[in-house]
Structure 1
Amino acid sequence: MKRLLVLSILGVTLSCISVANAGTLQLNIAFKGAETRAVWERLIQEFQKTNPDVTPKVAFVEEEAYKVQLPGWLSSVAPDVINWHEGERMAYYAKRGLLEDLSSDWQKNNWDVLFASLKTPSSFNGKQYAMPTQYFAWGIYYRKDLFEKVGIKEEPKTWEEFLDACKKLKAAGIAPIAVGGRDSWTLAAWFDYLDLRINGYEFHMQLMKGDIAYTDARVKKVYNAWKTLIDNKYFIDNPLSYSLDSVQPIYSQGHAAMMLMGTFLSPGLPPNTKLQTGFFRFPTIDPKIAPAEDGSVECLNIPARAANKADARKFLAFIGRSDINGELAKGLGTLPANNQAAMPEDPVAKIGFRILSKTTGGVAQFYDRDMTKEMADEGMKGMQRFITDPSKLDVILGDLEKTRKRIYNKS
């Protein structure tokens, strides 16, 4: 009898532990800046109020560190929910069986309708592994006061006008362009836009898929346009010594006039800087090429090894609601994924929405989101080498071509 009593007590104890674990929801959230973290904290608190039986535990990890740690989480003791990037970056983990299939959630929650335009980048092999949260446009931030100071009367619409603006700013002792090249993806934005404007969307996507040689003359043409900016010293000095976070004060304090970046940067700008900030579409280089844009989509995923998938699904359904999704986008300065959500009031986000909505040449995700991870990593390392010494371009492209052939099994 004593043995039965002990076993009974042990069973109840284990059952209670199981229930307790079931009510704990581990969220690992990448963030960049205090503003981003505060938005997520507020929405997680709202989720807990409507789901008092669930106890969220959140690990906020700075974005660059998050990218490094994510593979380890997914392949070992995984959290219940992660935030990540759609497209190839999501597919990389989905094809390895590390993300939960969310196809039934898409049907159950009417996401097929609410996220209709973002279903493709949320999918891999016909199944959905992500719930899109927000997306953002890319463009060039600029200081209106500095443009006015050197006599630039209009936002540059062509490459010639852009180069002329850079020349005027440089002559006045103002660095035309700030870039934090230590975070290599900030350089990839320059490659994306130069390639999209010079060679167009179809060529760009073929390159992303590994179907075009890096020694192709059209690829070199992109780097030569980039080299024009480097040779004329239109970028800040020593760009590889700055991350995105550390380069922002150079722009905010008026030491540099422009930055190529996504609309997500806007909420974190100091109020006085924001008053002086404008935002314009990357200029046209070849008028025969239909303008294409980067429109990067962010998402939530449930790891395949998650312990509490039931509550994780509740959390995704909550964030996917039109009212909550609108709050998220408003706080982050992005555009809501839910097509029934209210558009944010942020002026840069509004311009970004107009840029994407009027795009006729196609919408890409982003360099390291459209390309297999290993090739993207090597490509961005090559960009850092190029910024350091543009004269080594042929060597760099030759090395990238060898890498392409190896990764994609090209002869």
Structure 2
Amino acid sequence: MKKILIILSAFIFLLSCSGGSDPNKKKIVYWSMWNETESQGQAVKAAIEDYMSKHPDIEVEINFNGREIRKTLQPALDNGQTIDFWDENIERTTKNWGKYALKLDDYITNVYDTTDGKPYEDVIIKSLLDLGRSFSEDGSLYAVPYQPFVFLFNYNKKIFREAGIEKVPETWQEFKDACAKIKALGIPPITDDDAEINALLGYHIAKYKGTEFVQQLVTEGLWDDPIVLKAAKDWQEMVELGYVSPKVEGNKFPAGRHELARGEAAMFLNGTWVPNFVMETAGEDFEWGHFPYPTVEGGTDGLYDMHYGSQSFQINKNTKYPKETFDLIVHLTTGKWDEEIAKRSYALPVSSTTTYWTKQLEDTKEIFPRLGKYYPLDGGIDVNTEKTPIINANIIKLMSGQITAEEFVAEMKK
């Protein structure tokens, strides 16, 4: 009897050391960019649990890394740690971790249970698949998108309606006219904060001369270019007309988006992720609207040229279970769970296998099919990270009326 107890104890000990894994199951290890408490993390976890219930031969281990994955993933892969798939922004996964990734071109041509009888690539937003390919050196696809986003003006539809604005502005003059009507209500038209304000000038210069110029500007110091002064003067005028919230000078992240959510400002230039992050402040009844950054007279770029993208799933090229892992990703990005993940995080679906579109982001439904040139984040004004703090400090001064456009250019030339 004593011998039996010893053997049983040893078995229990070994089972506990193995983490309770069933050796008869295929184990897939997923490193998540979300924290477990985030709505996205909770939604993805529920989707994976549903997948395991339908595939009893598969076990998925989830490791919630949060945004620390940007620091932790590559060392773990270099050390040969078993990680079958992971997620992050589609530009980062492809550019930074593409060398570790499985090429997915053959997988997306297949039909799956939740793709309505069509190849996977035919039900996913095409512009995002094209974007993923554009980031790879060989034009192949190394990550599949989910949770798509666009970077544009988030605005309060109720304020626009009360101001008598019947259509969203498409040109800079229409934008100024809308701001005048909003100001007449006693509400600041535009707000921002220290971490996100660079986009206002970065986008504006890009609309005049393209993002390649913006990136060249900040890397080569082309501050004498007349377009820079012109763009800065445009925004100086906006400040002098009272169209920019006086709180911009002192707003610290994430104060800008919360100022919008409280109805204390009408517009905020940022991603479609904003409603999810401020829902507790804004409430379910907040009337969200979205429109692209307007075009400028004489500019090279169009209305639908903007920053856009998605999060993405990427598979380790050394995984033991490539087919099963991709099948799980299909489960996460199509059908019920594409819809459910979008619902739970006030985000957008990535596939045509659901007719659902998040109420708070309804305006963006017509934008995705019209997307034009891809803009780097903030129009490319942040690509020179050594210079970014100086650029940011002076944009804050410009947008809060502390310096003129000429003084902005002079400061940037130092």
Structure 2 residue corresponding to 1:105, chosen from 104, 107, 113: 107
The size of the alignment, in residue pairs, is 374
Superposed displacement of residue 212, structure 1 = 8.6
Q: Does residue 57 of structure 1 match 2:39?
A: no
- State the distance in 2 between where 1:232 and 1:24 align: 58
- Which residue of the partner structure matches residue 203 of structure 2? 193
* Alpha-carbon displacement from aligned partner over 1:293-335 (angstroms, at most 9, x marks no partner): 3332321112457686565333223224344334334444444
Q: TM-score, normalised by structure 1?
A: 0.72
The answer to whether the Cα contact below 8 Å between 1:187 and 1:383 also exists between their aligned partners in 2 is: no
* Alpha-carbon displacement from aligned partner over 1:202-248 (angstroms, at most 9, x marks no partner): x324655899955143345444434444566604525675324x543
Alignment map for 1:1-400 (pairs within 5 Å):
19=23, 22-30=26-34, 34-63=38-67, 65-76=68-79, 77=81, 79-87=83-91, 89-94=92-97, 97-108=99-110, 110-115=119-124, 116-123=126-133, 124=136, 125-147=138-160, 155-167=168-180, 169=182, 173-182=186-195, 186-199=196-209, 203-205=210-212, 207-208=214-215, 213-215=220-222, 216-229=225-238, 234-235=244-245, 237-238=247-248, 241-244=251-254, 246-267=255-276, 269-270=279-280, 272=283, 274-286=285-297, 289=300, 290-294=302-306, 295-303=308-316, 311-338=324-351, 340-359=352-371, 362-364=372-374, 366-367=376-377, 375=383, 377-378=385-386, 380-390=388-398, 391=403, 393-394=408-409, 397-398=412-413
2:84 partner amino acid:
D
The answer to whether the Cα contact below 8 Å between 1:179 and 1:236 also exists between their aligned partners in 2 is: no
Q: Secondary structure of 1:119's match?
A: helix
Any unmatched runs of 5+ in structure 1? 1-8, 400-411
Distance 1:285 1:45, change over 3 A: same
Instruction: Calculate percent identity across the aligned residue pairs.
Output: 18
Superposed displacement of residue 126, structure 1 = 2.7
- State the distance in 1 between where 2:144 and 2:214 align: 27
The answer to whether the Cα contact below 8 Å between 2:27 and 2:61 also exists between their aligned partners in 1 is: no
1:83 partner amino acid:
D
Any unmatched runs of 5+ in structure 2? 1-10, 112-118
Q: Secondary structure of 1:337's match?
A: coil
The answer to whether the Cα contact below 8 Å between 2:357 and 2:365 also exists between their aligned partners in 1 is: no
Moved more, 257-266 or 222-231: 222-231
1:394 partner amino acid:
V
- State the distance in 2 between where 1:91 and 1:395 align: 38
Distance 1:91 1:230, change over 3 A: farther
- State the distance in 1 between where 2:321 and 2:21 align: 13
Q: Secondary structure of 1:256's match?
A: coil
Q: TM-score, normalised by structure 2?
A: 0.72
- State the distance in 1 between where 2:122 and 2:319 align: 27
The answer to whether the Cα contact below 8 Å between 1:79 and 1:307 also exists between their aligned partners in 2 is: no
2:44 partner amino acid:
W
Pairwise CA RMSD of aligned residues? 4.2
